[in-house]
A and B are shown apart, each in its own frame.
Chain A
């Protein structure tokens, strides 16, 4: 039957090449037997339309051939867990390295908002390239494993030395039923922490990044910032670097889900440093006159009012931060006490 020959020829194209002829010969024998039986039941050969209906029931050639193909994975279930872990680590390091290199390039070159925006927009490409390389390496690994060129490392094989008692303890969030800190949020913290840091470093050279058009007004005004802002500014920069490094390290070590009350307390305590520096500035001066001899008579009262307001604001912020810190430390001590009590029971 010509249509059956055409069908088998079409199936053959989708079969593994080493066994094409053998499989087609077997299929032919089976299908011809089936055809023969159909025809003997009818007492006549199948019409063209009936033959077509019959072949349609068997399924499209590709559908018939597909189950003969060995199951193939780009990255199979045995390798996939390591792939996912490595991909996360690779993403973290790619972002960290990219952030450091970009920060150096921005600081040593001519920092500008356009260069910063360009650096940020390049992040997806960096992540995509990283993912492509990791995937390629793991596809090769999968191929090697499935072709018995190498054996999977013990880290993914069931290990006899594994013990449930070695599992990490539940975090406070898990105990209280709160949702743990997601990986995406942890990565976002690192990325946005870096962007914020770059922005912070650019602000002294480009005040419009902070004040917008108001920067022009400040430049034209008779006032200028007092020298106390310099150590305050660098304290804030140092704090942000510390927090960024801390977040990146947590991500790298896979600890982003763990609650970190000590870290929060330390950052809270360090956050008081720039506020204290500011509040202990000589004369409590946050703003000075550019030309005191000329402008003192005219702007002296305004200057005093501005400095008083800024000092009051900072004192209030300092009080809030101190209360928060005390609350955090209190909670920390309480948790330690509770954990000890629970351990003793």
Chain B
């Protein structure tokens, strides 16, 4: 990997990090276990490594945003996650923040593009 590629990869990961948390919280408004969550995110175009997603679920649970429970499904014990009340509130706040940032960045990019074309 060249220096430029390495830099791009680091910046890309940095950019994705916060977005992934928001996407995971959004998906967990509905109860899911790790693998189905990963599939649901991938179906929406967000492919996440197992080594990123599963520990992230543990962290969000430790931060008090998710509730989890072990349950048997299809003859296999699985750990199901879902947003709890605090998680719902946090998701709503983060979503508002995300929308504001998204609008600002989109506007900024639009302005910059217009200026550079002029």
Is the CB–CB distance between B78 and A27 below 8 Å? Answer: no
Across-interface contacts of A33 in B (CB, < 8 A): 33, 35-36, 76, 78
Minimum distance in angstroms from A28 CB to a CB of chain B: 9
Please state if A59 and B33 are interface contacts (CB–CB under 8 Å): no
Report the bound CA distance from A329 to B36 in whole Å: 79
A68 and B50 form a contact (CB under 8 A): no
Determine if B50 and A29 form an interchain contact, defined as CB atoms under 8 angstroms apart.
no
Give the CA-CA distance A30 to B33 in the complex, in Å: 8
**A58 & B34 in contact (Cβ 8 Å cutoff):** no
What is the interface residue range for chain A against chain B? Answer: 10 to 19
| Smallest CB separation, B115 vs chain A (Å) | 31
For window 1-42 of chain A, which residues contact chain B by CB distance below 8 Å? 19, 23, 25-27, 29-34
In the complex the two chains form, what is the Cα distance from A32 to B76 in whole Å? Answer: 9
Chain A nearest CB, measured from B59 CB (Å): 9
B30 CB within 8 Å of chain A: no
Query: A67 an interface residue at 8 Å Cβ cutoff?
Result: yes
The CA of A58 and the CA of B38, in the complex, are separated in Å by 13
- Assess A27 versus B35: contact at CB under 8 Å? Given A32-B76, A33-B76, A59-B49: no
Asked if B16 is an interface residue, CB under 8 A from chain A, the answer is no
Residue numbers in A under 8 Å from B33 (CB-CB): 29-30, 33
Are A64 and B79 closer than 8 Å at their CB atoms? no
Q: Does A63 contact B (CB under 8 A)?
A: yes
Residues A26 and B51 in contact, CB atoms below 8 Å apart: no
Tally of contacts, chain A with chain B, CB under 8 A: 51
Identify the interface centre among B38, B51, B54: most chain A CB within 10 Å of its CB.
B51
Chain B residues within an 8 Å CB radius of A58: 49-51
Contacts of A23 in B (CB 8 A): 54, 58
Within the assembled complex, what's the spacing in Å between the Cα atoms of A34 and B34? Answer: 10
B:10-69 near A, CB below 8 Å: 33-36, 38, 49-52, 54-56, 58
B77 within 8 A of A: yes
Contact of A29 among B34, B51, B52, B56 (CB under 8 A): B34
A59 and B35 within 8 A (CB): no
A4 to chain B, nearest CB (A): 13
Evaluate contact between A67 and B78: CB separation under 8 angstroms. no
Least distance between B56 CB and chain A CB atoms (Å):
8
Min CB gap A54→B, angstroms: 11
Residues of A near B78 (CB, < 8 A) are 26, 29-30, 33
Contacts of A27 on B, CB cut-off 8 Å?
Answer: 50, 54
Q: Whole-angstrom distance between the alpha carbons of A63 and B35 in the complex? A: 19
Interchain CB contact under 8 A, A34 and B35: yes
CB pair B51 A67 closer than 8 Å:
yes
B55 → A minimal CB distance (Å): 4
A67–B35 CB distance below 8 A: no
Give Cα A19 to B38, complex, Å: 22
Give the distance in Å from the alpha carbon of A248 to the alpha carbon of B38 in the complex: 61
Considering the complex, give the chain A residue whose CB is closest to the CB of B68: A26
Give 7 closest A-B pairs by Cβ, nearest first. Answer: A67-B55, A30-B34, A33-B35, A30-B35, A29-B78, A26-B79, A64-B51
A to B CB contacts below 8 Å, 15 in the list: A19-B58, A25-B77, A25-B79, A27-B54, A29-B34, A29-B79, A30-B33, A30-B35, A30-B54, A33-B36, A58-B50, A59-B50, A64-B50, A67-B51, A67-B55
B contact set with A: CB distance below 8 Å: 33-36, 38, 49-52, 54-56, 58, 76-79
